[in-house]
Chains A and B, each alone.
Chain A
């Protein structure tokens, strides 16, 4: 669905320019994002993970689909439910390629374990990391707060004549904040290359979207800025990829910002501390329908129908619709399991920062 300013019609869907390797890589990246989440749940039970776990289970297609549409030099800003985005960024340049513009799996596991080799040396928790070199904007807990920062990055890049695009990830809840409206308004006026991805998982902590948004789609907010607002099926990685690719192209050509709303559903509680309460404040029919289309299954079905995945391969790795306790290592490609193991092994051996570091770097000398 397209809201606000209309995009030029394209005859060929962006996915049709992908190679067979791309399709299979995308499928594998979905497994990687899912396994990351499952592995962290297990690591928390082992006492290794520090702090709250904000699961991205059931929302992986949003991350993989949008990130696969970017160039290495593009900027992103993930928030709490986007932890896999840090290592999915530019993953197609090689999972273990140190030059790629994404954070290594070793560093990400160090981050969730609170170890010194994390980006930022474990000074702030969970997703509050980034990297100037890897083109990832650091976020705070104040959601939508990365959008004005993204506008500043986009402004700077545009002034330098680069065709870099800046992408922020946000929940539907944060679209009520002033920062969201202030920054998109500004970016629209200056035609800044900025894409605001809204992961509409229907629940902002304990509040349903219908209680805080007066329009059927969050993307309707695009109308007021006269920019494109596109709604994608957040369970379908290729629909996300197609729509994101169009908006990336639109931004790269200097047309300005846009909003991509991906309809999805939060599998568990807001954080793992909220899992039990979420079962009470969310009606079971709401949960069942929200989780009825696992992005792994949707992708698998498409690949089979398109003859990209053969019948035998299609029945391998059946992680679809399985929770952390139900899934086993046989449900995931070996490469995925080894990649996570590589990160966990590294992080176990990484130390804690020296206590005195708590008082350092308030100012640059």
Chain B
């Protein structure tokens, strides 16, 4: 065989490559988190890094999220870039004060004297039967805390490119990795062999369409694609937008699409009230009201925690069926 088989990378390994490459490029950068060194992370995102960079630059931390985030703030104050892992994004609540009051406000409080190049990343999202404390999408808390950027990739290419961009950003970034996507076979893809980033603050149109715009991010992107296929059979073409970065939000891509389709459904798996879908809808109303032919709609989790067993979990989370029904209502308005 003379033809080399193309190397395909899954979502998890794409993340690992991003961290590895940034660590190699900056000898001052450190990684901290629970079980990230010896074990290589609960899901293996940091596997092998401690052997390469040593146990000071890749550090196992106590189960103490306030301490992890505070330590990241202190290291950044001395000029270091920091990647801090939250073992599950659900656990980020234990470090909440340090994130919203300290990390997020540092650059503001110091009138630009001290940037905070810190990435807090961790596995997020439901649909895996993880129950109340291993299923959350709590991005709304941080979108509501000025000073934090919020990112959520849905593909392997974006996982690597967005994480590299986040690690190079001088601002703190909360990075939502979708654990159900970590090892999905159909997300494996050939990644560029040269250095690349996906810039923060840029949405992308995944599918082009004319009759309705679906706006989402993370795991729900894959529900939206299925819905788009179903709508195609009904004779509707759907445009599907992957937001990718929630803060700062690329409004332009969304508004441009709505000007074309005149109908929009926003999908996310966070609870409805004060969720990010609501924020997108508010901006659509402010900026594209006159282009709309139907009320802008959303399909979100119910205002409940994420319960454990399948029928309960399915009942509260957005599904292909629920999204489809929301789209049909919007199309037939």
A interface list, Cβ under 8 A from B: 119-121, 123-124, 128, 130-132, 137-138, 140-142, 145, 147-157, 159, 178-179, 182-183, 185-186, 189, 357, 360-364
How distant is B175 from chain A, measured CB to nearest CB, in Å?
Answer: 16
Q: Give 21 CB contacts A-B under 8 Å.
A: A128-B109, A131-B113, A138-B114, A140-B105, A142-B97, A145-B98, A147-B70, A148-B69, A148-B70, A149-B74, A149-B102, A151-B70, A151-B74, A153-B75, A153-B78, A183-B66, A186-B64, A362-B146, A363-B149, A363-B248, A364-B170
Whose C-beta in chain B lies nearest to the C-beta of A121? B111
B112 touches A364 (CB 8 A): yes
Q: Which 8 A-B pairs have the closest CB atoms?
A: A152-B74, A148-B70, A182-B64, A182-B67, A152-B71, A156-B78, A153-B74, A149-B74
How distant is B181 from chain A, measured CB to nearest CB, in Å?
Answer: 28
Say yes or no: is B73 at the interface (Cβ < 8 Å to chain A). yes
How distant is B29 from chain A, measured CB to nearest CB, in Å?
Answer: 11
How distant is A55 from chain B, measured CB to nearest CB, in Å?
Answer: 24
- Alpha-carbon distance A182/B270, docked complex (angstroms): 30
- Alpha-carbon distance A152/B78, docked complex (angstroms): 9
B111 touches A148 (CB 8 A): no
B101 touches A140 (CB 8 A): yes
- Alpha-carbon distance A148/B107, docked complex (angstroms): 18
B107 touches A364 (CB 8 A): yes
Say yes or no: is B72 at the interface (Cβ < 8 Å to chain A). yes
A185-B64, A364-B170 known; A120+B73 contact, CB < 8 A: no
* A/B pair count, beta carbons within 8 Å: 133
B77 touches A145 (CB 8 A): no
Give a binary string over B62-99; 1 marks a CB under 8 Å from any A CB, 0 the rest.
Answer: 10101111111111111110000000000000000110
How distant is A197 from chain B, measured CB to nearest CB, in Å?
Answer: 17
Q: Which residues of B contact A141 (CB under 8 A)?
A: 101
Which B47-64 residues have C-beta < 8 A from chain A?
A: 56-57, 61-62, 64
Q: Which residues of A contact B76 (CB under 8 A)?
A: 152
Q: Which of A120, A179, A186 has a CB less than 8 Å from the CB of B62?
A: A186
How distant is B173 from chain A, measured CB to nearest CB, in Å?
Answer: 11
Which B107-154 residues have C-beta < 8 A from chain A?
A: 107-115, 146-147, 149
Say yes or no: is B106 at the interface (Cβ < 8 Å to chain A). yes
Say yes or no: is B171 at the interface (Cβ < 8 Å to chain A). yes
B107 touches A362 (CB 8 A): yes
B interface list, Cβ under 8 A from A: 30, 56-57, 61-62, 64, 66-80, 97-98, 101-102, 105-115, 146-147, 149, 170-171, 248
B62 touches A178 (CB 8 A): no
- Alpha-carbon distance A149/B62, docked complex (angstroms): 15
Q: Which of B64, B75, B106 has a CB less than 8 Å from the CB of A156?
A: B75
Q: Which of B66, B98, B109, B113 has a CB less than 8 Å from the CB of A132?
A: B113
How distant is A130 from chain B, measured CB to nearest CB, in Å?
Answer: 7
Q: Which residues of A contact B171 (CB under 8 A)?
A: 363-364
How distant is A118 from chain B, measured CB to nearest CB, in Å?
Answer: 9
- Alpha-carbon distance A78/B195, docked complex (angstroms): 43
B109 touches A123 (CB 8 A): yes
Q: Which residues of A contact B248 (CB under 8 A)?
A: 363
Given contacts A182-B62, A183-B70, 20 further A-B contacts (CB under 8 A): A123-B108, A138-B114, A140-B102, A145-B66, A145-B102, A148-B74, A149-B71, A150-B74, A151-B71, A152-B75, A156-B80, A159-B57, A178-B64, A179-B97, A185-B67, A360-B112, A361-B112, A362-B146, A363-B149, A363-B248
Most buried by B among A120, A130, A149: A149
How distant is B261 from chain A, measured CB to nearest CB, in Å?
Answer: 31
Q: Which residues of B contact A156 (CB under 8 A)?
A: 74-75, 78-80
Q: Which residues of B contact A128 (CB under 8 A)?
A: 109
